[in-house]
Structure 1
Amino acid sequence: MTLDTVKHAAETPEAEQPWAELGLKQDEYARIREILDRRPTGAELAMYSVMWSEHCSYKSSKVHLKQFGEKVPENDAMLVGIGENAGVVDVGQGYAVTFKVESHNHPSYIEPYQGAATGIGGIVRDILAMGARPVAVVDPLRFGAADHPDTKRVLPGVVAGIGGYGNCLGLPNIGGEVVFDACYQGNPLVNAGCIGVMKHEDIHLAKASGAGNKVILYGARTGGDGIGGVSVLASETFDDTKPTKRPAVQVGDPFQEKLLIECTLEVFKEQLVAGIQDLGGAGLSCATSELASAGSGGMRVELDTVPLRDSSLSPEEILMSESQERMCAIVEPDKVGRFLEICEKWDVIATVIGEVTDGTRLEIFWHGEQIVDVPPRSVAHEGPTYHRPYARPDWQDALQADDAGKLARPATPEELRAQILQVVASPNQASKAWITDQYDRFVQGNTVLAQPEDSGMIRIDAETNLGVALATDGNGRYAKLDPYAGAQLALAEAYRNVAATGAKPLAVSDCLNFGSPEDPAVMWQFAEATRGLADACQTLGTPVTGGNVSLYNQTGEVAIHPTPVVAVLGVIDDVNRRTPVAFAEEGQLIYLLGDTAEELGGSAWSQVVHDHLGGLPPKVDLERERLLAEILISASRDGMADAAHDLSDGGLIQALVESCLRGGKGARLVVPEGVDPFVFLFSESAGRAVVSVPRSEELRFTDMCGARGLPATRIGVVDGDAIDVQGQFSIALSELRTAHEATIPGLIA
C-alpha cells in the first residue's frame, strides 16, 4: 500500500480526499488546507475530522459556553476549572474532589450494553487523569416511552452495561435518574458521571512539556473497535440512509480498566508523570494533539510502535480508534524505567511511542515516513467556531399558551385518590429499584447515601467523616416549555437535593443534551438554556467546573426535548449528620418549607393524567433556593430534622409517598385552610422541601425558619400505616407500595 506522506501531499495538491465522508464540511476542509499550506495527508485528514467533530471541538456550542467563565467567578473552592479533563474543587482538610458528567448517547442506542459500559469507562478515566482515585459513579438516563418495544431492547442493555462495568471496577453507583418520554425514542440519553478524590498536591494536568521527555502509551492494545466512535457518531443525526455515520461502538474491558487505575495511581504516587491524558473520544488523535497543544513544545510520535490487536489497521484507523482502557503519559527519561516496571507489575502493556520536542509541531511517523506535520493547537484547540443562527420557534408561544391549569381536575376526593395512585404508579414516578438494584451501591464501604435518596453521599475520610454529595437533575418537559427557566430549574433541583441531605453545594458540572444545531429552533433552545444556567450559577455562586455538550440528538427532523442535565457537588463536614429521605420515627412533625402556587405546566400530573405538555414551568426564585438550602443544611448539622425530601416531579404527594415508603411509616396530613387539596398535593412549585422534625426540636426549628424568613407550615405528623389526608382520603402504604414498585418490572422484566 502506498502511504500518503507529508511530502507526497505537498506535491499532489489536486488529489481527491474523502473529507465529506469523514464528516467535514467543505469550508472546514478548505481551512485545513490553509493552515497547512497544502492538502492534508490521509492521517492528518483523519485527525482533523475527529478533532473538529461536534463532539470534540464544541464548534457550535463554545460561543455560548464561554458565559460559564465570563459570568461565574471561580470561588475559593475552585482548584481546576473548565478546559481540563475534569474540574477540581477544594473540600477541606487537604482533600480535593474532581467530578464530571459526560454523554454516550448515540453509541448506547446502537449497542446498549457496550455503549453504556464504555461511557462509564471513559468518564472514570477522565477522573483518573486528574490524579484522583475514582470513588463513585452516577448515571442520569433518558429512554423512550416505557411501553415501547424498543425501550425493552435499549434499557436492559444500558443498565446491564453500567452495572457490569461499574461493579467490576468496584465503584459504587450512588445516584442518577431514569426518565421515560416518547421524545427519546430513537435517541436515549446515557449520561455518566464520576467523582474522584485526591490530595491537593496530587493534581495532574494534560500537558506535554520538557524537550526529551518520553511519550508513553499504556493500557489495552489498539483495535478496530470504535473507529471514529463518539467523535463522529455523536456529531450527526441518526439516518438509516447513512450507514457510514454508524461506526462500530467501542468495546470495554472493566478488568483491564481496574488494572489501569491501580497502575496509574502507583505511578502518580511515585511522581513519575509530568503530564497525562486519557484516550477517549478521538483516541490517539486527541491525546497527542491536546498534550502537545497544552505543553511548551512539539511532539514526535512513531505510530508503528503502538501495540495493536489488529495488525491490518491503517495509520488513519490507529489515529481514529477509540479503543478503551488506554492512557498517554509524559515521562522524564530517567523515570521511564521505573514507569515501565510498575506497568509490568500490574500486567499493563506500556510502550514508548515518542518524545516531546523543542519545536512547535506535532509530527507522526509510520515506518520511517512522516505522515503528520501539523501545529497541534490547530487540531486540538483551534477548530471551527460557528455562530449558528438561532430563533425562537414559531410554535413556542402556542405551547406556552396551552396552559395546564385549564385541564380537568379531580372533582371528588375519590378521583383525587385515584389520580394519586395513577401518578405514583407512572413509569417516571414509580420506584426504579429494578434498575438500581443491579448496581452495587455500597462497595468499598464508604457509601453513606445512594438511590433513592435525594443525593448520593460518599465518606472520603474515615477519621473525620468528611464527605461529599452529588445530585444530577434535569427536566426536559420544563425546558421544552421554557429553556431558560428549564435549565435554572435543573440547577435548582440538584442544588436543593444536595442541601436536603445536609451538604453545602459547591460547584457544578453539566451535560447539555439537544437536537441538531443546524436547526435554528434547537440552537435557540441551547442558547437560552446555557444563558439560564450561567445566570443561575452566577446568582448561587456555584461555578461550572466542566461538562459536556451532546448535540444531534434527533431522528430525521424530530429532536428530543432540550435536556440540560446539571450535577451539583456538595461537601459535608460529618457524614453522620446526613439527612435521609425516610420518615423513621412516629410522632415526628411534618413541615412543608416554601410557598406553594398553582404551577402545573410540565407537571407529572399533566403528563400522566392528561398526556399534556403546555403552559409555563414553575417559577424560579434562586434567592429562595439559597435560603432553603441554608435552612436544610443547618437543620441537618444541628439535629433539628430527621428526614428531608425536596419537592419536584409529582409535587408534595410524590415526596410524601417516597418518604413514607422508604421509612415504612405513614403520615396524617391536614390541608391548610383555604388551600385547594389538588394544588396542595400536585403543584410542582420550586424552592420547597418537606421535613420531619422531632417534637423536642420544633420550637428551635420554627424559630430558625421565622428568623430567616422562610415559610414553614406544619402539615401533619408521622403516624400509622397509611397516608391519610384529613377530609379527603386514606391510602394504605401496602397499596401505595404495590402501585409504586410493580410498574418497572412489569414493563421491562
Structure 2
Amino acid sequence: MTVHNDTVDAAKADPDAPQPYAELGLKDDEYARIKSILGRRPSAAELTMYSVMWSEHCSYKSSKVHLRYFGDATTPEMAEKILAGIGENAGVVDIGDGNAVTFRVESHNHPSYVEPHQGAATGVGGIVRDIMAMGARPIAVMDQLRFGAADAPDTQRVLPGVVSGVGGYGNSLGLPNIGGETVFDESYAGNPLVNALCVGTLKVEDLKLAFASGAGNKVILFGSRTGLDGIGGVSVLASETFEDGAERKLPAVQVGDPFAEKVLIECCLELYSAGVVVGIQDLGGAGLACATSELAAAGDGGMRVNLDAVPLRAENMSAAEILASESQERMCAVVTPENLERFQEICARWDVICAEIGEVTDEKDRLLITHHGEAVVDAPPSTIDDGPVYDRPWARPQWQDELQVYTPVERPADLKQALLDMVSSSALCSRDFITEQYDRYVRGNTVKAKYSDAGVLRIDEESNRGVAVSADCSGRYTKLDPKTGVRLALAEAYRNVVITGARPVAVTNCLNFGSPENPDVMWQFREAVHGLADGSTELAIPVSGGNVSFYNQTGTEPILPTPVVGILGVIEDVHDAIGHDLGTVEDSEVLVLLGDTDDEFGGSIWQQVSGGGLNGMPPRVDLADEERLADFFVGNQLLTAAHDLSEGGLAQAVVEMAIRSGRGVNLDLAAVHEDEFVALFSESASRVVVATTADRVDVLLERAQAKGVPAVRIGETTDTDDLVAGSLNAPLAELKKAWESTLPDLFGHAVGANSVVE
C-alpha cells in the first residue's frame, strides 16, 4: 500500500493494514486508544497528527498531573494581573497604564546537539513566534545554555555552533540579547541544554489568543513555504516510513531564516493593528498538525482544511509530511470573510506569502483535512490536542541520602591561588567570548545587559517605565535537593531583578529533566514543581507559564535536574536602574554586605573546582529574606552599584566589580565571617554587595535595619590596582587575565570557522 493514497476511506476499507505507530513513539495502548476514538484505524495523516501531538513535547502527558499544582498554589490575588497564563503560547502580565508584557522560555535541546547552529537558531525563532502569537512585539531575547565539560571534544563542536546560532538569528532579527547564563558540567555531555527566552510588549486590548471561532471564518497560513526540514524533530517522524521506496534526505533539525521572520514580525504587527485577526497560532513543534488541531480544539466549532492550498517548497509531499513539517517562520490565523482582502493586502505589502487553506465550520469538534480531493483526516480535534495523561511512578532515589552526606571541603593553603583557580574556572570565568557575539543594544532601549544581574529594558519612551528579566538555575543544587534547588533558582532570579530596582511581577520556567519513565527523575520533577509553586506563592508572584523538556540524558544517565526559573519585574523609571559598576563617583566608595554568611559549600563552585565532587545540602534559603531585600532596593536612591552573591560567593562578585571598574578594593573579611575562606567563597543565599558614598553609609545601614536586612560595612574602593582581602593580596591585572582568558583559549579557534562573528 502506498501511503500517499492512505485516505480515511482507505483506512475504513483496509482496517487491518499494519502501521508504524511504535516507530512514531506511540505505545500499544495509545494506538488502541486512537482506534477507539476514531472507530477504525487511523489514516497515515491521522497517525502522524496523533503521534506528534501525543508526544511528550506537545502533550505534556507525563507532567500534566504535576503541573496542575501551579494552579492549585495560585491565589486569586496572584492571578489578577495575568491576562494569559499556563497553556497559552506565552504568559501575559498586566503592568498597568494599559500596558502588558509577555515572556516565556522554551527548550530546543536535542536539535542543538544534532545540528548546533540551526538547532539554537530555530530555538530563538520559535520562542519569538510564541511571543508574536500573543499580539506582542518581541523586544529582547535571552539564552540559558548548558554544555558538557568545557575542554571535552564534543563541547568544542557544540558550543561554537550554538552561540553562532543564538547570535546569528537574534542579531538578524534586530533583537537585543540582554542576558543569560552558560554552564559547563559533565552531565550535559551528549545532551546540551539550549533554553531561549523572549520578552514582548503589547497594549492590554491587543492581546491575541489561539482559537478558531465563528463558522465561515477563514483559516490562513502565512509566512514561509512548507518544506521537508524539521520532519523528525518533535514528531520523531521519518518519511521513509510513510513513502515506499522514497530516497529523501530530510534534515531532522529545522532550517531558520531570520530575515523572513523579521518581515513576519512586522507583518503580524500591522495585521494586529488593522484588527483583521480573530485568532492566531504560530507553527513550531509539530507544525501544521499542531496549529490546526489546537486552533480547532480551542474554538467553538470545527475546521475544514485543504492541504492542496498549502504553499510548498518540495515536490510530492505527502499529507503526513505537510502536517508534520516544522519548517520555520510560519503562522496560522483565523480571519473573517470581510477582512480577508485586507489581510491579503497587508501580507502582500510585506511580501509575505499567505494562503487560504480552510475555514471554521459549525460541526462542533470535527477536524476534516483533505489532500488531492480526498479526506485524509477526519477526527475530533479535542482528542488530538488533549493527549493521554500519565501519573508515572515516582520515588525518592535510594542514593539521595548518601548524596546528601557532606564531605567537608578542603581549605586551600594559598587563598590567592584559590581565587585565581576560581575566577579562571569554566564555571566562573568571563563569558565575554560568548556575549560579544550578541547585539545587546539594537533598538536603543537596552538599559542594562552585559555585566548586569538582570537585563533591563525601557518599554515606554515617555514615562521611561521598564522591565527587568533574569533566569537562573543551579543543577548541582537541584540534584542535592530538588525542592531547595528550585527555590534557590527562584530566589536568585528574584534577587537579580530586585537589585536593579525593579519589583518582580511574574514567573516563567523551563523544566529540563531526564526520562519521565525513571521514578528517580519523576521524583525530582515533582519536588521541583512543588518547590517552585509554593515558593512563588510565598513571594506572591504568579507562574505565568512554562515549558517541560524530558528525556535529557546520555544513555541511561540523566542530566543534572535543571529547572530554569525566569522572573520579570517592572521598574518605574529606568534612569533609576542600579548597575554593577563601581567608579561612578570620583571619591572612594564604601562596600556594604547585605545578608548573613554561613559555612555553606554543598553543591558550591569551590566544591566543584577543588575536586570535591558533589555532595551535601545546598545553601539554606528563606524567601522572606528575599522579600525584605526587595523592600530595601525598590525606590532606593542611596546606591552607586549592587551585585548579588551566588556562585563563587563574595570573592567572585567583588572581583567582577573591581575588574570592570579598574579600581582596587580593600575588604575586611573579619566583618563577613571569622573564617577568611568562608567569607570569600561561601554561597549562602539572600546576599548582595552594594556600594555607596561615605556620606550615605549610615543612612543606608539605617534603611537596612528598618527593612530587617542584615547589613555590615565590609570595605571600600581604593586608588590601587589590587584586591586586598584579609591576608589575600592579588593584582587586578593578574585576576583580569585569569578571568578573561579561559574561554578564548578553549574556543577562540572556532570563531570564523563556525561562527557568524568574524
* TM-score normalised by structure 1 residue count: 0.96
Q: Does 1:10 align with 2:22?
A: no
Q: Residue 502 of structure 1 aligns to which amino acid in structure 2?
A: G
Q: Distance in 2 between matches of 1:408 and 1:292?
A: 61
Describe the superposition over 1:609-635 as per-residue Cα deviations: whole angstroms up to 9, x where unpaired: 124111000011010111112212232
Q: Distance in 2 between matches of 1:504 and 1:245?
A: 51
Tell me which residue corresponds to 1:659. 657
Residue 445 of structure 1: SS of its match in structure 2? coil
Q: Distance in 2 between matches of 1:27 and 1:476?
A: 35
Whether contact under 8 Å (1:50, 1:228) holds in the other structure is no
Residue 181 of structure 2: SS of its match in structure 1? strand
Structure 1, unaligned stretches of length 5 or more? 235-243
Tell me which residue corresponds to 1:45. 47
Correspondence for 2:307 among 281, 303, 320: 303
Whether contact under 8 Å (2:723, 2:729) holds in the other structure is yes
Q: Distance in 2 between matches of 1:727 and 1:218?
A: 64
Describe the superposition over 1:675-695 as per-residue Cα deviations: whole angstroms up to 9, x where unpaired: 111101111000110000122
Q: Distance in 1 between matches of 2:635 and 2:679?
A: 26
Tell me which residue corresponds to 1:418. 417
Q: CA deviation at 1:233?
A: 8.5
Q: Distance in 2 between matches of 1:252 and 1:724?
A: 47
Q: Distance in 2 between matches of 1:445 and 1:201?
A: 26
Tell me which residue corresponds to 2:514. 515
Q: CA deviation at 1:133?
A: 0.4
Tell me which residue corresponds to 2:409. 407
Tell me which residue corresponds to 1:368. 373
Q: Does 1:670 align with 2:668?
A: yes
Q: Distance in 1 between matches of 2:250 and 2:428?
A: 34
Tell me which residue corresponds to 2:115. 111
Residue 227 of structure 1: SS of its match in structure 2? coil
Q: Does 1:328 align with 2:332?
A: yes
Correspondence for 2:155 among 138, 151, 157: 151
Whether contact under 8 Å (1:55, 1:232) holds in the other structure is no
Q: Distance in 2 between matches of 1:245 and 1:479?
A: 40
Describe the superposition over 1:415-457 as per-residue Cα deviations: whole angstroms up to 9, x where unpaired: 1111011001101100000100000000010000002210001
Q: Distance in 2 between matches of 1:233 and 1:189?
A: 22
Task: Tell me which moved more, 651-660 or 76-85.
Answer: 76-85
Q: Does 1:503 align with 2:520?
A: no
Residue 216 of structure 2: SS of its match in structure 1? coil
Whether contact under 8 Å (1:671, 1:725) holds in the other structure is no
Tell me which residue corresponds to 2:230. 226
Q: Distance in 1 between matches of 2:259 and 2:325?
A: 20
Please list, as runs of the form range in 1=range in 2, the aligned pairs for 1:700-715 lying within 5 A after superposition: 700-715=699-714
Q: Distance in 1 between matches of 2:447 and 2:605?
A: 29
Q: Does 1:626 align with 2:631?
A: no
Q: CA deviation at 1:13?
A: 1.9
Question: How many pairs were matched up?
Answer: 731
Residue 469 of structure 1: SS of its match in structure 2? strand
Tell me which residue corresponds to 2:66. 64
Tell me which residue corresponds to 1:217. 221
Call closer, same or farther: CA 1:727–1:211 in 2, change over 3 Å: closer
Whether contact under 8 Å (2:490, 2:532) holds in the other structure is yes
Q: Distance in 1 between matches of 2:91 and 2:249?
A: 31
Q: Distance in 2 between matches of 1:198 and 1:487?
A: 30
Whether contact under 8 Å (2:125, 2:258) holds in the other structure is yes
Tell me which residue corresponds to 1:197. 201
Q: Distance in 1 between matches of 2:149 and 2:747?
A: 11
Tell me which residue corresponds to 2:144. 140
Tell me which residue corresponds to 1:101. 105
Q: Residue 51 of structure 2 aligns to which amino acid in structure 1?
A: S
Call closer, same or farther: CA 1:113–1:273 in 2, change over 3 Å: same
Whether contact under 8 Å (2:228, 2:251) holds in the other structure is no
Whether contact under 8 Å (1:107, 1:230) holds in the other structure is no
Whether contact under 8 Å (1:233, 1:246) holds in the other structure is no
Q: CA deviation at 1:41?
A: 0.8
Tell me which residue corresponds to 1:315. 319
Whether contact under 8 Å (1:669, 1:723) holds in the other structure is no
Whether contact under 8 Å (1:400, 1:481) holds in the other structure is yes
Whether contact under 8 Å (2:409, 2:612) holds in the other structure is no
Describe the superposition over 1:79-101 as per-residue Cα deviations: whole angstroms up to 9, x where unpaired: 21111110001122221000000
Q: Residue 456 of structure 1 aligns to which amino acid in structure 2?
A: G
Call closer, same or farther: CA 1:245–1:645 in 2, change over 3 Å: farther
Describe the superposition over 1:172-200 as per-residue Cα deviations: whole angstroms up to 9, x where unpaired: 00011000001100000000000000111
Correspondence for 2:641 among 640, 643, 662: 643
Q: Distance in 1 between matches of 2:175 and 2:251?
A: 29
Describe the superposition over 1:194-220 as per-residue Cα deviations: whole angstroms up to 9, x where unpaired: 000011111000000000000000000
Call closer, same or farther: CA 1:70–1:429 in 2, change over 3 Å: same
Q: Distance in 2 between matches of 1:37 and 1:672?
A: 76
Describe the superposition over 1:566-588 as per-residue Cα deviations: whole angstroms up to 9, x where unpaired: 11000000000000011123421
Please list, as runs of the form range in 1=range in 2, the aligned pairs for 1:538-687 lying within 5 A after superposition: 538-584=537-583, 585=585, 586-635=587-636, 639-672=637-670, 675-687=674-686
Tell me which residue corresponds to 1:338. 342
Q: Distance in 1 between matches of 2:444 and 2:146?
A: 29
Q: Distance in 1 between matches of 2:5 and 2:722?
A: 74
Q: CA deviation at 1:726?
A: 4.9
Q: Does 1:392 align with 2:396?
A: yes
Q: Distance in 2 between matches of 1:301 and 1:390?
A: 42
Describe the superposition over 1:520-574 as per-residue Cα deviations: whole angstroms up to 9, x where unpaired: 1111111111111111111011111111101000111111000000110000000
Q: Distance in 1 between matches of 2:30 and 2:128?
A: 32
Whether contact under 8 Å (2:409, 2:601) holds in the other structure is no
Tell me which residue corresponds to 1:282. 286
Describe the superposition over 1:32-88 as per-residue Cα deviations: whole angstroms up to 9, x where unpaired: 111111111110000000000000000001111111111022343222111111000
Q: Distance in 2 between matches of 1:610 and 1:233?
A: 43
Whether contact under 8 Å (1:233, 1:247) holds in the other structure is no
Q: Does 1:161 align with 2:165?
A: yes
Q: Distance in 2 between matches of 1:233 and 1:31?
A: 20
Q: Distance in 1 between matches of 2:249 and 2:653?
A: 43
Q: CA deviation at 1:703?
A: 1.1
Call closer, same or farther: CA 1:337–1:579 in 2, change over 3 Å: same
Q: Distance in 2 between matches of 1:372 and 1:726?
A: 71
Q: Distance in 2 between matches of 1:199 and 1:158?
A: 34
Residue 527 of structure 1: SS of its match in structure 2? helix
Tell me which residue corresponds to 1:237. none
Whether contact under 8 Å (1:223, 1:321) holds in the other structure is yes
Structure 2, unaligned stretches of length 5 or more? 239-247, 749-758
Whether contact under 8 Å (1:108, 1:188) holds in the other structure is yes
Tell me which residue corresponds to 1:430. 429
What percentage of aligned pairs have identical amino acids?
Answer: 61
Tell me which residue corresponds to 1:238. none
Whether contact under 8 Å (2:631, 2:707) holds in the other structure is no
Please list, as runs of the form range in 1=range in 2, the aligned pairs for 1:198-277 lying within 5 A after superposition: 198-232=202-236, 248-277=252-281
Tell me which residue corresponds to 1:239. none
Residue 444 of structure 1: SS of its match in structure 2? coil
Q: Distance in 2 between matches of 1:729 and 1:707?
A: 34
Residue 22 of structure 2: SS of its match in structure 1? coil
Tell me which residue corresponds to 2:241. none
Q: Distance in 2 between matches of 1:531 and 1:134?
A: 31
Q: Distance in 2 between matches of 1:12 and 1:646?
A: 66
Q: Distance in 2 between matches of 1:82 and 1:407?
A: 42
Call closer, same or farther: CA 1:721–1:64 in 2, change over 3 Å: farther
Tell me which residue corresponds to 1:20. 22
Whether contact under 8 Å (1:723, 1:731) holds in the other structure is yes
Q: Distance in 1 between matches of 2:147 and 2:35?
A: 42
Q: Residue 10 of structure 2 aligns to which amino acid in structure 1?
A: H
Call closer, same or farther: CA 1:259–1:724 in 2, change over 3 Å: closer
Tell me which residue corresponds to 2:442. 443
Give the aligned CA root-mean-square deviation in angstroms.
1.5
Q: Residue 643 of structure 1 aligns to which amino acid in structure 2?
A: A
Whether contact under 8 Å (2:593, 2:690) holds in the other structure is yes
